Every structure is written in C-alpha cells, then in structure tokens.
Structure 1
C-alpha cells in the first residue's frame, strides 16, 4: 500500500508567523497584552484562536467576531504570490506523479487555508483539506488527522505527517502517523520533545530522502 503524505499548512508549507504575530500585536496592544516573539510562541503558536482568547480575554464580549476580524486582517496582509517552504513544490510534484494520497490537515480556518494554498500556488494538489475547527476536536487532539486518514483510505502506520508545532506533532502521533517536525520556528530538541520521530530544516533537507525510503511507494 502506498503511503499518504499529510501536511500541516502554516509554518510547514509556508512561513507566515511574522504576519500573524504582527496582527496579534496590533489587535492586543489596546487590550493591554504585549505580544513579542516569546509570548507568541508560548501562548499563540499552533493554537486555535478560540482557545487563546478564552484564556487571555475571558471577558471579551464577542470572541468569535474578534477571531474573524483577526483572520480577515491576516488574509488582507498575506501577499499573493507568497514563497512556499523550500522544496515543497518538488515533493508535491513527485507525490502527485506517483499517485500518492495527500492531504492538508490544519487548525487554520477554511478561508485562511484556501488563501494560503492559493498564495503558494499549491491548491490544485489537494482534494482533501481537513480543518481543525470543523472536527469534533482540533489539534492537539488526533481528530483532524484521523479524519484525513479515513478520507484518504490509508492505514495510520502508512502515513507521514509534516508539522511545525508541538500541538500538531502530538496530534499526528496520537493518530498513529510518522511525525516529521519542520524546524521553521522550533529546534530539533523542542520538536522531538513534543514527539517528532525526525525533524527537517525544510523539504530540501537531505534527511528527507532517507525517511521516504522507509515507506514503500514514496519517490525519494
């Protein structure tokens, strides 16, 4: 059986943390919360807006509207085109040519996911896009990965998940996938501490070929 390749989106297929951080900074400063890189990585990175706002703005009158406003501003600031993670398009082209099942598994809301995939010119590669907030539970729970695995019709042990956050790594591992951490924001040690089997600098990392050879049918 050929394996499936499951891709987190933001921080894995492209790096937009700087845009998100700037939007959060502008939005939260009037509410008395200073967002620097350390705060962003500890409290915001990889989480749903709803979870962050529940913790840090429990008295917000309309947290859903705040979340919608934040993401609309992110989409407004996202350049088109936007650079994909190095080596991503080559891997997607090889996987598509080999007929491998592939999917996006993300905690981003659907309009953001669509905008980011279009910005990096990768939308046509994916028929299956699983959105965390549309599942019973988002990452770090395994539900989004389990939904993608079911949709693609593959066994969990025949899936490779690419992730950049601890919550995503934990979700992929809990679903039974082989979890690869992309070191876009975090170190090898931090990603392995979250449960990553291996880590890569990006999709041009020579270690990727060795990993892919472990799975039948993956073009190295």
Structure 2
C-alpha cells in the first residue's frame, strides 16, 4: 500500500468503471478520524475569529465549522474578505501548532495492517487542504500507508457532497457496496452515506445519536472498539459475494 498512491482532483478518477477483481476498501476521513486534531483546529479558529471581533465557543465550532471546507465556511462569516487568503493563513497556523510526531487514532495502525492482509484497499478522503493532509499523515507516521488521497477542494464539490468519496471509489475501482467509510463529523457522515458506502461514525467529537442522525449505519469510539469486529466481518462477506 501507499507507494502507488494516486492524486485525485477535479475530473480525476478515470471513467468510473469498476474493475473485474473487486476487493473491499476502507475509506477514512482524516481530522478527528485518523488523528485527534479537532482541539487544535478549534484553538486556531477561536484565535482567528477573536482577532476579527467575534467570539466563538466549542458548541459554535461543532455546529457551524466542524467538517466544512474553509472555502465554503469563511464567506459566510467574513463575506468581504478573501476566503482563499483566510484559509491559507488559518491552515498555516494549524500546521505550526501540529509539530513533531503524534499518535494516530487508537487502533488505526492495526486496522491498516489487517486491511493489507485481507487484500482491502485503503484511502483517505478529506476536506483538509493538501498541505494539511500530508502534514497530518506525516505527523502520525502514515503518509505512505494509503492507496489514494482525495482532497475535497480539488474535486468538483467537497463534502458534504458525496463526490470526494465517489472519486476515491473510481480511483480504487470498487463499488460502494464493498466500501466502509469512517467519519467523525455530521457533514462528512452525510457525504459518506450519500456515496453508498457503509458509513461508520467515529465518536471523537460527536455523539452516537448525532452521527446516526447524519446517516451513520453504526458508530464506534475508535478503531479498538469491540463493534469493529462486526463491521469488518460485514465487509469480508460483501467482498466475497
């Protein structure tokens, strides 16, 4: 895995045809799913808004910012500003705060190893800008662990639209029914569910009820959760059928 990683952007992903040899695929969001990064994002956003005369708390962040792309979110709050410039500044600050090696979400490394042994492909599907995504993957030591990295802002539409997930499926040559998508935000969960993937919520910031309301078929605390066995067994059955 990883050495042949494909870069997916707008219009990429080939014809959308599914290959004859269909294995399973695990598709992962990044922030809050593979890495505990939400606290850092909140801190940066809180400083960012305060400098512009607005005070936000964690509830506001979770309801209005979490899981949304910067280019979708910033114009709503700062309509007279250059959204791209704001996004670049915010993400540079985030990368400055995320320095050195940090642990991935518990169980992530073991799950990726299990996927490799099972012959399942693995991908990252994120609304994070590419520089951030690669920075986070390096920080958790998984930069070369994935077959595809899909960046939402490089697609025609980002999450909550399903297009980033559909782009990953096209790149991997797998249909939705043999894909599991892991997401921690309601926005990302809606995208994954709309793509047709079996959608599993990660309860790193949102509750089971919130994730289920957004469309998750199931939820787990992290990748060590006992519920993962039934989830992976389902994929094994689908991939063999």
Same topology, TM > 0.5: yes
Q: Does residue 43 of structure 2 align to residue 22 of structure 1?
A: yes
Residues 77-101 of structure 1, C-alpha deviations (whole Å, 9 max, x = no match) = 1032011111111001111233211
Written as runs of structure 1 = structure 2, the 5 A alignment for 1:1-220 is 1-60=22-81, 62-216=82-236
Give distance in 1, aligned partners of 2:227 and 2:64.
Answer: 31
- What TM-score results when the alignment is normalised by the length of structure 1? 0.96
SS where residue 192 of structure 2 aligns? Answer: helix
Give distance in 2, aligned partners of 1:127 and 1:4.
Answer: 10
Contact 2:24 2:119 in 1 (8 A): no
Give distance in 1, aligned partners of 2:147 and 2:229.
Answer: 25
Give distance in 1, aligned partners of 2:112 and 2:156.
Answer: 29
- Residue 31 of structure 1 and its aligned partner are, at CA, apart by 1.1
Contact 1:21 1:35 in 2 (8 A): no
Q: CA RMSD in A?
A: 1.1
Contact 2:190 2:215 in 1 (8 A): yes
Runs of 4 or more off by more than 4 Å in structure 1? Answer: none
Contact 1:82 1:119 in 2 (8 A): yes
- Residue 42 of structure 1 and its aligned partner are, at CA, apart by 0.8
Deviates more, 1:38-47 or 1:97-106: 97-106
Residues 198-220 of structure 1, C-alpha deviations (whole Å, 9 max, x = no match) = 000000000100111112278xx
Contact 1:180 1:198 in 2 (8 A): yes
SS where residue 201 of structure 2 aligns? Answer: strand
- What TM-score results when the alignment is normalised by the length of structure 2? 0.88
